[in-house]
Amino acid sequence: MDYYGSQINNLIAHLSSLPGIGGKTAQRLAFHIIGMPREQVEALAKAITDARNQVRYCKECWTLTDQEKCPICRDEKRDHRTIMVVESSRDLAAYERTGKYEGVYHVLGGAISPLLGVGPGDIRLKELMQRLQGDVEEVIIATGSSLEGETTAMYLSKLIKPTGIKVTRIASGVPVGGDLEYIDEVTLLRALDGRTTL
């Protein structure tokens, strides 16, 4: 039954299409948005549109940014000889929240998963290998501890070792099957500090 009319139902439908937003949450958000001052709604809509139109991939590490290079890659104080390889920009953000890692990153954009049809050519391995031709001393593999993350880590290790660059893997402490973006900073820091050579 149509309780609210097409405009509200349309807003609820669009909000509920977002990941992690169910019908009740979408309804609650829709009513909140409708009750907001018009200027705030317009600012929210503009922020969404601007982000969609202006955010792109960093030309060096492939994280999301609104400039040619992200702030981490532009930072000359960072150790550009140490590259941490992560699956997504959310994983990068999780490590940055620890405040302890001083190197740079490489975002693969996924993990190898033959069951899902994701092979080595579907993630940013070629771009990583190009970066390794520069002055790089260590690659820290910080993919998740899922089957896909472990498969990707082993593949990366076999690919990088012949170059003579030190290859390490984050230590345990990250739960098996856990997503890095949901793990607390202390656990991530212990995993980083306890990384082992592959």
State whether residue 1 is helix, strand or coil: coil
Token pair for residue 93?
């953000």
pLDDT in tens, 99-132: 999 999 999 999 999 888 999 899 999 999 999 9
Cα-Cα-Cα-Cα dihedral sign, residues 187, 86, 65, 45: negative
What's the rounded Cα separation, in Å, for the pair 184 and 5?
42
pTM for this entry: 0.77
What's the rounded Cα separation, in Å, for the pair 3 and 77?
57
- Residue-averaged pLDDT of the chain: 89
pLDDT in tens, 167-192: 998 876 666 666 777 777 767 776 77
Domain residues of the chain, as ranges?
A: 6-54, 64-197
Burial of 40 (0-12, 13-18, 19+ CB in 10 A): exposed
Fold of 64-197: Dna Topoisomerase Vi A Subunit; Chain: A, domain 2 (3.40.1360)
Return the CATH number of the domain spanning residue range 6-54.
1.10.8.420
